[in-house]
A and B are shown apart, each in its own frame.
Chain A
Amino acid sequence: SQKIEQNSEALNIQEGKTATLTCNYTNYSPAYLQWYRQDPGRGPVFLLLIRENEKEKRKERLKVTFDTTLKQSLFHITASQPADSATYLCAPLVSGTYKYIFGTGTRLKVLA
């Protein structure tokens, strides 16, 4: 069966450091991978999308990589700030389907 695992349930880092979150998937071949941020009691908010033929995507302090051989995506937040504290969710997506399934999530806490 398909599995999407984010390797750290919780991650604490110091302000100013780079946070690296991992998303690993098994038993399917997504054409896209999306990352979302969720704050407590709120719905997830879209951050970045990367396609299978793209190795890397950047947006301001965010960077996403997508390795279809390793079946893994890495999500980086550089110069992290306490306001970046939230749960981050990945969602690998097979082309032609609306089955948006989320990974297990990583709760990031940036310490001042």
Chain B
Amino acid sequence: DTEVTQTPKHLVMGMTNKKSLKCEQHMGHRAMYWYKQKAKKPPELMFVYSYEKLSINESVPSRFSPECPNSSLLNLHLHALQPEDSALYLCASSQVGGGTSGANVLTFGAGSRLTVL
């Protein structure tokens, strides 16, 4: 299985709602990532988990809360979002390779399209 599965594909939420995005992979990858992508812009790194521990938080607002319950799952909990948070949210995974981590490639999911009203 060489896929990263993201659910839901589309999500519409109000600014007071609480929702979650889910990501799952069964490739045995121990690094998982969340990216945010606005139209005609590159993906922006939000969070990185390595061995189920948060290793990078790119100064993301606390209304985004990541969670990695096990090595196959990654969640992004959303609360009190703003309309400018509307974007494509991409999950990715990779092997971990210590000093050679740059040689590990990212496998992306198809993304969750989020609209905040």
Query: Are B43 and A102 in contact, with the CB atoms below 8 A?
Result: yes
Q: Give which listed residue, A46, A89, A95, contacts B101 with CB less than 8 A.
A: A95
Query: Are B94 and A43 in contact, with the CB atoms below 8 A?
Result: no
User: Is A44 an interface position by the 8 A CB rule?
Assistant: yes
Query: Are A97 and B109 in contact, with the CB atoms below 8 A?
Result: no
User: Is A61 an interface position by the 8 A CB rule?
Assistant: no
How many A residues are at the interface, by size bracket?
A: 20 to 34
User: Is B110 an interface position by the 8 A CB rule?
Assistant: yes
Query: Are A41 and B111 in contact, with the CB atoms below 8 A?
Result: yes
- With both beta carbons as reference points, the residue of chain B lying nearest to A105 in the complex is identified as B42
Query: Are B108 and A43 in contact, with the CB atoms below 8 A?
Result: yes
How many B residues are at the interface, by size bracket?
A: 20 to 34
User: Is B62 an interface position by the 8 A CB rule?
Assistant: no
User: Is A34 an interface position by the 8 A CB rule?
Assistant: yes
User: Is B100 an interface position by the 8 A CB rule?
Assistant: yes
20 more contacts with CB within 8 A, not counting A34-B102, A49-B105, A98-B96, are A31-B102, A32-B103, A34-B105, A43-B109, A43-B110, A44-B43, A44-B108, A46-B105, A49-B103, A89-B42, A89-B43, A93-B102, A95-B102, A97-B102, A98-B31, A99-B56, A100-B45, A100-B94, A103-B42, A107-B40
| 10 nearest A-B pairs in the assembled complex, by CB-CB distance | A43-B108, A93-B102, A32-B102, A102-B42, A46-B105, A98-B48, A105-B42, A96-B99, A43-B90, A44-B108
Can you spell out 22 A-B residue pairs with CB atoms less than 8 angstroms apart?
A32-B102, A32-B103, A41-B88, A43-B92, A43-B108, A43-B109, A43-B111, A44-B90, A49-B105, A51-B103, A89-B42, A93-B101, A94-B102, A95-B100, A95-B101, A97-B101, A97-B102, A98-B101, A99-B45, A99-B48, A102-B43, A105-B42
